[in-house]
């Protein structure tokens, strides 16, 4: 019985149907399904399929936005039940996201945040037009693992560097990984400003975040051995 339900959940995300996804989440709970099972076996595979299709240019941005909205609807229902049960999803890491100062574009960043959340990251979205000092303050407050900085304009992507400088000034850079993205951003630019990685789209941002967390874990293990 669970497998058809999981398939329906997955398809509701792919089809970008918020009302259907929310209804399926409620139905799953009424049938006694564990919320983590619904998330990990139903809705997350749908979001992963969406990310994969978008990366292959088989899905367009409005469709992906609808899928992200469907994912948020399902998660709103399931997270309430997780809190009620006193259960927590295994956390992959803490990420602070924002669009850099002078840039008001948010769609790409929001998609990254939705996919990261779907994959177990705790995401704090600072919004758009965010100065470097605000990134650093929030990263310090939350003991963040990763800071993600988006920019859609060539005139604003230079401010991605100011975020790294703010983290350095606050003494946070050694323990925080920085990833950058946005239409004009390239791997070469990321290397030039001293970022830890570059993601060309939302799905690759998830893969990058996972790699950065693996790198942090390996560094911590090496430090213990020393």
* CATH code, 176: 3.40.50.280
Contacts of 1 (CB under 8 A, 6+ apart): 31
| Domain boundary, last residue among 32, 50, 85 | 85
Residues 73 and 113 in one domain: no
Residues 210 and 176 in one domain: yes
pLDDT confidence of residue 221: 58
Domain assignment of residue 63, given as a range: 2-85
pLDDT confidence of residue 171: 97
**pLDDT per residue rounded down to tens, the chain (226 residues):** 588 999 999 999 999 999 999 999 999 999 999 999 999 999 999 988 988 888 788 888 889 889 989 999 999 999 899 888 887 778 899 999 999 999 999 888 988 998 898 888 999 999 999 999 999 999 999 999 999 999 999 999 999 999 999 999 999 999 999 999 998 999 999 999 999 999 988 888 999 999 999 988 777 655 555 5
pLDDT confidence of residue 225: 52
The rounded distance, in Å, linking the Cα atoms of 102 and 130 is 8
CATH number at residue 52: 1.10.1240.10
| Domain boundary, last residue among 85, 109, 135 | 85
| Domain boundary, last residue among 58, 85, 112 | 85
Structural contact between residues 167 and 117, judged by C-beta atoms closer than 8 angstroms: no
Residues 121 and 56 in one domain: no
Residues 106 and 152 in one domain: yes
Residues 78 and 124 in one domain: no
pLDDT confidence of residue 185: 95
In what side-by-side order are the strands of the sheet with 177-181?
121-125, 93-99, 146-150, 177-181, 197-198
**CA proximity to 43, closest of 64, 65, 1, 73:** 73
Residues 50 and 77 in one domain: yes
Residues 98 and 206 in one domain: yes
pLDDT confidence of residue 205: 92
Residues 61 and 162 in one domain: no
As a whole number of Å, the CA-based R_g of the chain is 18
Please give the tally of structural domains in the chain. 2
Residues 80 and 115 in one domain: no
Residues 103 and 205 in one domain: yes
pLDDT confidence of residue 201: 85
Residues 103 and 65 in one domain: no
Residues 102 and 194 in one domain: yes
Beta partners for residue 147, in sequence order: 96, 178
Taking the model in full, what pTM does it have?
Answer: 0.83
């Amino acid at each position: 019985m669970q497998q058809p339900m999981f398939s329906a959940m997955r398809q509701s995300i792919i089809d970008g149907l918020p009302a259907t996804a929310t209804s399926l989440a409620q139905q799953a709970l009424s049938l006694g399904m564990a919320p983590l099972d619904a998330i990990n076996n139903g809705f997350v595979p749908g979001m992963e399929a969406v990310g994969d299709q978008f990366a292959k240019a088989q899905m367009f941005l409005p469709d992906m936005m609808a899928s992200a909205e469907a994912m948020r609807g399902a998660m709103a229902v399931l997270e309430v039940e997780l809190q009620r049960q006193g259960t927590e999803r295994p956390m992959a890491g803490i990420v602070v996201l924002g669009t850099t100062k002078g840039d008001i574009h948010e769609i790409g960043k929001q998609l990254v945040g939705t996919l990261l959340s779907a994959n177990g990251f705790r995401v704090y979205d600072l919004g758009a037009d965010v100065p470097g000092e605000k990134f650093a303050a929030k990263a310090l407050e939350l003991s963040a693992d990763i800071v993600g900085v988006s920019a859609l304009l060539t005139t604003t992507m230079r401010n991605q560097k100011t975020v790294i400088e703010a983290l350095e000034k606050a003494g946070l850079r050694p323990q925080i990984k920085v990833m950058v993205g946005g239409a004009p951003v390239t791997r070469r630019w990321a290397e030039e400003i001293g970022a830890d990685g570059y993601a060309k789209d939302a799905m690759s941002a998830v893969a990058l975040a996972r790699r950065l967390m693996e790198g942090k874990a390996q560094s911590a293990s090496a430090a213990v051995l020393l």
